[in-house]
């Protein structure tokens, strides 16, 4: 079974702090994604990576950065946390099949609260 793990299930940080969220997948997937999920807004893509050291901005990259130094690990960084970044953060991975399915496998999520 594909397993995607996230470093924390719950996190409380103060405004202005630098926050690191880590994601690890064990299935040798090329693609990794970071989303945030908010009520009424659904899943929104922050950043994704299709290879080691490669990254692409998603729909809402402002205030975030990412790092992918190893294939299995994809980190999301909040440079200076703000209250509007309080959200559920979801990491996902997928094969680069070149086919039709685009199935994504998600971690359990990190509920981040910024006070």
CA 61, CA 57: separation in Å to the nearest integer?
A: 6
Query: Are 64 and 18 within 8 A, CB to CB?
Result: no
Strand 4-6 and strand 87-94: the pairing is unpaired
Q: Compute the chain's Rg from CA coordinates.
A: 13
In this complex, which beta carbon is closest to other proteins, that of residue 19 or of residue 92?
A: 92
Size of the site for other proteins (CB under 8 A): 29
Q: Which of 11, 45, 60, 77 binds other proteins (CB under 8 A)?
A: 45
Residues 61-90 that bind other proteins (CB under 8 A): 90
Interacting residues toward other proteins by CB under 8 A:
4, 31, 33, 40-43, 45, 48, 50, 56, 58, 90, 92, 94-97, 100-109, 111
């Amino acid at each position: 079974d594909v397993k995607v793990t996230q470093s924390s299930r719950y996190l409380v940080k103060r405004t202005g702090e630098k926050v690191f969220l880590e994601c690890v997948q064990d299935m040798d997937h090329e693609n990794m994604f970071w989303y945030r999920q908010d009520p009424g807004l659904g899943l929104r893509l922050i950043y994704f990576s299709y290879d080691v050291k490669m990254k692409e901005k998603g729909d809402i990259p402002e205030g975030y950065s990412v790092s992918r130094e190893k294939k299995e690990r994809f980190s999301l960084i909040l440079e200076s946390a703000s209250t509007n970044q309080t959200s559920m953060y979801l990491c996902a991975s997928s094969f680069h099949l070149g086919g039709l399915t685009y199935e994504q496998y998600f971690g359990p999520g990190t509920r981040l609260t910024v006070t």
